[in-house]
Amino acid sequence: MKFEASYQFVLDKIERIDPSAYARTRNYADGAITGLSPYISRGFISTKFVFDKLQEKGFKPGEMEKLLQELAWRDYWQQVWKSKGDLINSDLKRTQPDFEHCQLPSAVLNGETGIEVIDEHIKLLKSTGYIHNHMRMYIAALACNLGKSHWILPAQWMYYHLLDGDWASNALSWQWVAGSNANKKYYVNQENINRFFYSNQLNTFLDVDYSSFENPVLPEELKKTEVPILTTELPTAEALSIHPERPSLIYNYYNLDPEWHKGEDVNRILLLEPEVFASHPVSKKCIDFAMGLAECIPGIQLYVGSFENLMQEYSLKDVFYKEHPLNTSYRGTQEERDWMFTVEGYFPSFFAFWKKCKKEIGL
């Protein structure tokens, strides 16, 4: 799938969305998915922006309920992160059942599990920064529930490579699969993979009935484990040219909105904090994609360092930024992110959250 750093490219993607086809085919390898997730994750657009654009096209909420539900999952995970903070970095609801180690199966890391479609997509993840959401669940199930990994390191590994890496969605989805954020674990067998990814592979360690997962045996292919090296190389920044009389807008890896205070006479600063990327590392491909999106914001300048050092070095006044759980060190005027719904706070289940969201739009 192609991802261009262009606002018009994103608008064209939204124009091509077919909510009905999405609902029918989204779980298949060639399904009519939107391809918008990297732009939503980087704050280039919001879920609300997509919803509003589809309504402008004439779609009624009932005609795009499944699409809205999937977009709402993203908002839900963000609300959990906003409410729980760093607690999402550990087992949220209960200790992950039956894990045996805190590494990653080498076969998963290297795309050598023997499950052809999964291996193909692991290599695709590393080369392109994107794989289908259904495949992400397959890989998580393999690593955690058959490979006996605790979810945290495998989740960090996948986040590292994803252009649409959103730590809340990624960490909490892995926890859901691994059973630390759900009442049961998620498993996949070869028949399911063959159906949704058009494979015909047989006689693998996944070519079993689901009843086999009641007492799963660690496959030989997943026994060897290792710790992947995940580090972020941030770009070099030049000295900023600041107009001290103007307000300053702080952008970051999660806020690259080209429409934010568009046309106003302000300083626009892209802040990349090494401390954030030390705890949430991403690949060079991800940084390059984010920098490409930043180029769509006229006049933006890059600063690599802490928010505190930025303030001290340039004596910024009237600082504005968007709310985000990683912005706890920021000081100034905090503005809310755009959400599809007004529903806020922690809900122990998505469907409790979704029930209130549906009520807002008459579903």
Residue 285 lies in a domain: yes
Residue 76 lies in a domain: yes
Domain at 102, CATH number: 1.10.579.10
Looking at the structure, tell me whether residues 101 and 218 fall in a common domain: yes
Looking at the structure, tell me whether residues 280 and 179 fall in a common domain: no
For 53, residues 6+ apart whose C-beta sits below 8 A from its C-beta are 11, 14
Please give the Cα distance from 268 to 288 (Å, whole number): 19
Nearest to 199 by CA among 130, 262, 117: 117
Write down the residue that tokens 């004439």 correspond to: 58
β-sheet bridge partners, residue 226: 104
pLDDT of residue 1: 84
- Choosing from 65, 87, 109, the residue where a domain stops is 87
Cα–chain-centroid distance for residue 13? Answer: 19
Residue 358 lies in a domain: no
| Sign of the CA dihedral with 9 first, then 169, 151, and 212 last | negative
Looking at the structure, tell me whether residues 270 and 257 fall in a common domain: yes
Three-state secondary structure readout of 279-316? HCCCCHHHHHHHHHHHCCCCCEEEEECCHHHHHHHHCC
pLDDT of residue 63: 96
Looking at the structure, tell me whether residues 178 and 261 fall in a common domain: no
Looking at the structure, tell me whether residues 40 and 168 fall in a common domain: no
Looking at the structure, tell me whether residues 300 and 277 fall in a common domain: yes
Looking at the structure, tell me whether residues 22 and 128 fall in a common domain: no
The domain in which residue 80 lies consists of: 7-87
Assigned token pair, 235: 């770009």
Q: What is the mean pLDDT of each run of 10 residues along the chain (363 residues)?
A: 94 97 97 97 98 97 97 98 97 97 98 98 98 98 98 98 98 98 96 98 97 93 98 96 97 98 98 98 98 98 98 95 97 97 96 97 92
Looking at the structure, tell me whether residues 181 and 298 fall in a common domain: no
Looking at the structure, tell me whether residues 119 and 215 fall in a common domain: yes
How many separate domains does the chain show?
3
Please give the Cα distance from 131 to 112 (Å, whole number): 17
